[in-house]
Amino acid sequence: MASLFEMDIRQLKGVGEKRAQLYRRLGAPTVGDLLRLYPRAYEDWGLYTPVAQTELHQVGVVRGTVLHKPTEHRVKGGKTLYKVTVTDGESDLRLTFFNNRYIPLLLKPGQDYVFRGKVGGGLLVREMASPAFLPAEKAKAILPVYPATQGLTSRMIGSAVQNALALLPGTLHDPLPQALREKYGLAGLGEALRGIHFPQSPKELAQAKRRLVFEEFLVLQLGLMGLKSGRRQENLHPVHPGFPESFAGLLPFKLTGAQRRVITEALGDMAGPYPMNRLVQGDVGSGKTAVAAALCWAMAQTGAQSALMAPTEILASQHFASLSALLGPAGVECALFTGSMPAAQRREQQARLAAGDIHLAIGTHALISEKVGFQDLGLVITDEQHRFGVNQRSALAEKGASPHLLVMSATPIPRTLALMVYGDLDISVLDELPPGRQEVRTYLIDPAKRQRAFRYVQKHLDEGRQGYLVCPLIEADGTPLMSVETYSALVGKAFPGVPVGILHGKLKNREKERAMEEFAQGRTRLLVATTVVEVGVDVPNAAVMVIENAERYGLSQLHQLRGRIGRGQYPSSCILITDAQNEETLSRLRMFRDTRDGFQIADADLKLRGPGDFFGQRQHGLPQLKIADMANDLEVLQKAQRCAQRLFAGDALQGPEYRALRGEVRRLFSRPGSGQVVL
Ligand code: ADP
Ligand code: MG
């Protein structure tokens, strides 16, 4: 296989310079790549229906005998029409073809063909216009459909693949050695490639797919693990080992056991032989900021600097406010870097940062800007990491000499996925909420009861609390979906005299900040918002939340939203409003209503909606998967992960039988900037 990846696609019969260019565009510059260009779908040519039973206006597959020589008819515009009738022995099917002068040569009277196309006609006569067809003996049960581009049809790709398959040597260096294939019940590579392109049966296809999916996951996982060891440089910023009691003394509260444990784990890394690469997963409100503060404090004690990057300006300002209040008095100089800050202030801060007078730089991705330079960056923390790509993470890290890396995520990612996305990180879990947290009671109601929900909100307001009202849209778009615009008018009427703020993504950063600021200080009592409030906003006095069109959100997103309340000592309520009737949707929402555990919700979300929610728009920066699908192939993913861990733990991978596998891993991670994989 390795040599096929070096063989230029032009060496295939029928592929010249022009087509080669098209293949390159499809990501297949070599014969090996072509074999890994898997069909996007399959057409079933095996399940013929009798003509009489074909469904009108649907794609039908019919096997029939040609009754006569196709007849030629001239039609308007100088076009030629060919007509031919075929029969399945019971009923006739009339076929027409436009401008295809090969038809009389291709369809021979008395011969059998399989036709596939949209069925037209009426009750008495069935017709197909320009159906695809194959001689009956060639119409295999299942035919591949490739991602065609202009100038390169699926059929052309199919025949090129067939030529490529013929080049496969009898004994292939299979990346998965025999013993491993036997252990996991996987097909050999040659068999799998033939099976994925030209399966003889659904079963063969399934076996081929399973093997290729397994291999893809295994290669990806091994690559991630290899990246992790590739990053093992010397620890240039060791901190003092042991739990920092004097830091704990700065806090207005007592750290939870989980916080102490995670701080100890992280500082253990930072005091160890290699730089830290750690993910802290903690449910909303579990107190990740205090963990970050502890590490920044410890870094400042050594004289080196830290950077904390948050995805939004609101969140960055909030971190700046709480961290500078906490660490400032202890001599840790903090500064905020955002895109909207005045140029003069930015220049002044940049100078102080470069001189080492600032110990902790907090900001948005403005921190990545070229002009921001550190004197000695020893620690990089990214908050709500799933919003950043791996590249942004490393862009910040490159401002220091192999700094420690901490990634904080509030999305409880199911472990399986965490291993995939963050496979190159060690993982700590903050699995305990600070004491005294009030339960958030969750209700699910239909819009007819909205007034009752509002009375409930009023009750919280009367007790001095504040509330969030969340809508899916910013402006009304003519659909029944609630918008911030419509809703704030509604709220104005329902709560006369109550100051109401507005927060959404279209506001300027300064306006967003002001809205947040006013709400945090209690000057506005209600905040009508989109999911902008989802990310990390912390107002402990907010104790009620109404979420309109709750069916529009993923469970993990709802969980993030709900995490905005119940952060203080007040009993809190979350009211989901939906007019959904669909039983599946309702049971999903009921499950959310009855569950608090973020991990359980994340698992359910993964099963229901797939991994998209966790990955965002492919922001994870991982190599793209060709055949495997994290949600649908979860079981194979888990097996491949266990296999990768086993291989990585021993020195099996170094053996000669794994040479081909090591090659696949290197090929996958060979893009520039993807880091060095050490296997
Ligand atoms: P998240 O993990 O969602 O980022 P935060 O760090 O914002 O959580 O913490 C949520 C709230 O809990 C904050 O108001 C913070 O001051 C408070 N908090 C954090 N740790 C503790 C603790 N151990 N005891 C009491 N309150 C805490
Ligand atoms: Mg947070």
Q: Cβ contacts of residue 252 below 8 Å, gap of 6+?
A: none
Does residue 435 form part of some domain? no
Q: Which of 498, 496, 501, 471 is nearest to 486 (CA)?
A: 471
Q: Which of 290, 559, 239, 524 is nearest to 404 (CA)?
A: 239
In the chain, the amino acid numbered 84 is V
Does residue 1 form part of some domain? yes
Helices 189-197, 202-230: inter-axial angle, 10-degree rounding: 120
Q: How far apart are CA 584 and CA 590, in angstroms?
A: 10
Does residue 291 form part of some domain? yes
Residue 541 Cα to ligand 1 midpoint, Å, equals 13
Q: How far apart are CA 675 and CA 225, in angstroms?
A: 12
Span 620-638, average pLDDT: 74
282 lines ligand 1 (CB under 6 A): yes
Does residue 638 form part of some domain? no
Residue pLDDT, tens place only, 186-242: 999 999 999 999 998 889 999 999 999 999 999 988 888 887 776 678 999 999 988
Same domain, 102 and 53: yes
Same domain, 93 and 164: no
Q: How far apart are CA 193 and CA 190, in angstroms?
A: 5
Q: What CATH number did the domain enclosing 537 receive?
A: 3.40.50.300
Same domain, 461 and 574: yes
Name residue, tokens 């063989």: 7
Whole-number average pLDDT of the chain: 88
Same domain, 445 and 546: yes
Q: How many domains does the chain have?
A: 5
Same domain, 212 and 332: no
Same domain, 39 and 110: no
Same domain, 451 and 530: yes
Name residue, tokens 């309520």: 573
Asked whether the beta carbons of 195 and 140 are under 8 A apart, the reply is: no
Which of 139, 160, 189 lies at the terminal end of a domain, its last residue? 139
Q: What are phi and psi of 162, to 5 degrees?
A: -60, -40
289 lines ligand 1 (CB under 6 A): yes
259 lines ligand 1 (CB under 6 A): yes
Does residue 634 form part of some domain? no
Q: Cβ contacts of residue 486 below 8 Å, gap of 6+?
A: 471, 476
Ligand that lies nearest to the alpha carbon of residue 436, given by its number in the listed order: 1
Residue pLDDT, tens place only, 64-112: 999 999 999 998 888 899 999 999 999 999 999 998 889 999 999 999 9
- Environment class of 77 (CB within 10 Å of its CB; exposed 0-12, middle 13-18, buried 19+): exposed
Instruction: Tell me the DSSP string of 338-390.
Output: -TTS-HHHHHHHHHHHHHT--SEEEESGGGGSTT---SSEEEEEEESGGGS-H
Residue pLDDT, tens place only, 2-15: 688 888 999 998 88
Which of 583, 609, 635 lies at the terminal end of a domain, its last residue? 609
Residue 377 Cα to ligand 1 midpoint, Å, equals 26
80 bridge partner residues: 74
The pLDDT value recorded for residue 618 is: 37
Span 428-432, average pLDDT: 88
564 lines ligand 1 (CB under 6 A): no
In this structure, the number of other CB atoms found within 10 A of the CB of residue 471 comes to 25
The pLDDT value recorded for residue 389 is: 62
Same domain, 414 and 449: no
Span 148-163, average pLDDT: 90
Asked whether the beta carbons of 291 and 259 are under 8 A apart, the reply is: yes
Q: How far apart are CA 220 and CA 425, in angstroms?
A: 14
Q: What CATH number did the domain enclosing 154 receive?
A: 1.10.150
Residue 97 Cα to ligand 2 midpoint, Å, equals 64
In three-state secondary structure terms, 92 is: strand
Q: Which of 304, 237, 307, 303 is nearest to 275 (CA)?
A: 237
420 lines ligand 1 (CB under 6 A): no
Residue 532 Cα to ligand 2 midpoint, Å, equals 14
The rounded percent of the chain whose pLDDT value lies above 90 is: 58
534 lines ligand 1 (CB under 6 A): no
105-109 long-range Cβ contacts below 8 angstroms, 24+ apart: 106/133, 107/66, 107/70, 107/133, 108/66, 109/66, 109/67, 109/68, 109/69
Does residue 253 form part of some domain? yes
Same domain, 461 and 596: yes
Span 623-652, average pLDDT: 82
Asked whether the beta carbons of 7 and 104 are under 8 A apart, the reply is: no
Order of all β-strands in the sheet with 404-409: 334-337, 360-363, 305-309, 377-383, 404-409, 277-282, 426-430
Same domain, 188 and 208: yes
Does residue 569 form part of some domain? yes
pLDDT band at 614 (very low <50, low <70, confident <90, very high): low
286 lines ligand 1 (CB under 6 A): yes
Top pLDDT among 439 and 388 is at 439
The pLDDT value recorded for residue 83 is: 95
Ligand 1, atom nearest to 284 Cα: 3
Q: What CATH number did the domain enclosing 50 receive?
A: 2.40.50.140
Domain containing 3 equals: 1-43+148-168
Q: What are phi and psi of 410, to 5 degrees?
A: -95, -10
Residue 429 Cα to ligand 2 midpoint, Å, equals 14
- Tally of residues, the chain: 679
Q: How far apart are CA 285 and CA 609, in angstroms?
A: 25
Residue pLDDT, tens place only, 341-363: 899 999 999 999 999 999 999 99
Asked whether the beta carbons of 245 and 205 are under 8 A apart, the reply is: no
Has this prediction a pTM greater than 0.95? no
Same domain, 222 and 268: no
Does residue 389 form part of some domain? yes
Same domain, 197 and 292: no
Cα angle 314-318-322, degrees, rounded to a multiple of 5: 175
Which of 371, 402, 430 lies at the terminal end of a domain, its last residue? 430
